[in-house]
Amino acid sequence: MTLHELPVERRTLHGHFSRDLAPVLTIDPGDTVRLATPNAGWWLESRERFEPRDDELDAGHALAGPIEVRGAQAGWTLVVRIDDVHPGSWGVTPVDADHALRWELDAAAGLGRAGGFEVELEPFLGVLGMPPAEPGIHSTGPPRRSGGNIDCRELRAGATLFLPIPLDGARFSAGDGHARQGDGEVCGCAIECPAEAELTLDLRDDLALEWPVARTPDAWISFGFDEDLDVAAAIATKALVDLMHREHGIAPADALALASVVADLRVTQVVNGVKGVHAVLPHDAIRFTS
């Protein structure tokens, strides 16, 4: 395993997804990348805005990458192990043009403070993904089958995300540091902060996925994305049934019945145009008696 570094530099940052973006780093499967990004609005740890930026190509989240993984093939699965996420010293939660909570973040104590309020920190990266296979410039805003702006608070250190690879080489990017977010992200933003992270990238050629799934220390998670929240929920449920059949050998009809009894559907976010739902199956939810 090799550890690679992606510092905050013009060459390492971009604000859109495209299969035509040249990789800034090529790694072997199993390598770890330590990366750093400004917050979603391109604001640095110094509280200055990153410059220079292109008004069109950098209109989205500030992302580190793309990272090419040697040997990755379209149709395989990219395994993203989230080893560590470290928030910067400040963050902001804008409500509208006139109001925002401005946070001082104490990562050592695990606390954020703003406007007389205090919350415990649960840092994660909102954007983890690859570009669509189609050519052109694609927004970083919506989540997709190949990941992107998933905005799932469960994808903290210790989680592993499995993403369907849309094109050879993978071309993975990450960013959008969040010091904390609730399910739904109801005002449109989390505690948006600069962040550093360590991610280990690997490949699976024996796991064909239609939609992303994740494994945390506590649960399996399946994802569904669609402009219609009901459709997103149906996708997440179908993906969970498939997961239960694949991982536990449970017949699909039994898996659906068990999911209705022990799994939870949660609204990941409702603010990215394409809405997200994740289904959560705790590891200890089902005991096998025969």
Name the strands in the sheet holding 99-106, side by side, starting at the edge strand that comes first in the sequence.
90-96, 99-106, 111-114, 117-120
Q: What is the pLDDT of residues 121-134, one digit of tens each?
A: 999 999 999 999 99
Q: What is the pLDDT of residues 76-96, one digit of tens each?
A: 999 999 999 999 999 999 998
Is it the case that residue 14 has pLDDT exceeding 80?
yes
Residue 1 — very low, low, confident or very high, per pLDDT cuts 50/70/90?
confident
- The structure's pTM equals 0.96
Q: What is the pLDDT of residues 171-208, one digit of tens each?
A: 999 999 999 999 999 999 999 999 999 999 999 999 99
Q: Which residues touch 256 (CB under 8 Å, ≥6 apart)?
A: 237, 241
Give the per-residue pLDDT at 120. Answer: 98
Indicate the pairing of strand 143-144 with strand 13-14: unpaired
Give the per-residue pLDDT at 106. Answer: 97
CA atoms of 267 and 263, how far apart (whole Å): 13
Residue 62 — very low, low, confident or very high, per pLDDT cuts 50/70/90?
very high
Q: Which domains does the chain have, with CATH numbers?
A: 3-204 (2.60.120.580), 218-282 (3.10.28.20)
Q: pLDDT > 90: what percent of the chain?
A: 98
Token pair of 14, please?
């971009």
Quick one: which of 214, 200, 170, 216 has its CA closest to 34? 200
Is it the case that residue 20 has pLDDT exceeding 90?
yes
Give the per-residue pLDDT at 97. Answer: 84
Residue 226 — very low, low, confident or very high, per pLDDT cuts 50/70/90?
very high
Average pLDDT for residues 50-61, to the nearest whole number? 95
Is it the case that residue 290 has pLDDT exceeding 80?
no
* Average pLDDT of every residue of the chain: 97
Q: What is the DSSP letter of 17?
A: B
How many angstroms separate the first and last alpha carbons of the chain?
40
**Structural Rg of the chain based on CA atoms:** 18
Q: pLDDT > 70: what percent of the chain?
A: 100
Give the per-residue pLDDT at 155. Answer: 98
Average pLDDT for residues 201-219, to the nearest whole number? 97
Q: What is the pLDDT of residues 246-282, one digit of tens each?
A: 999 999 999 999 999 999 999 999 999 999 999 999 9
Q: Which residues touch 99 (CB under 8 Å, ≥6 apart)?
A: none
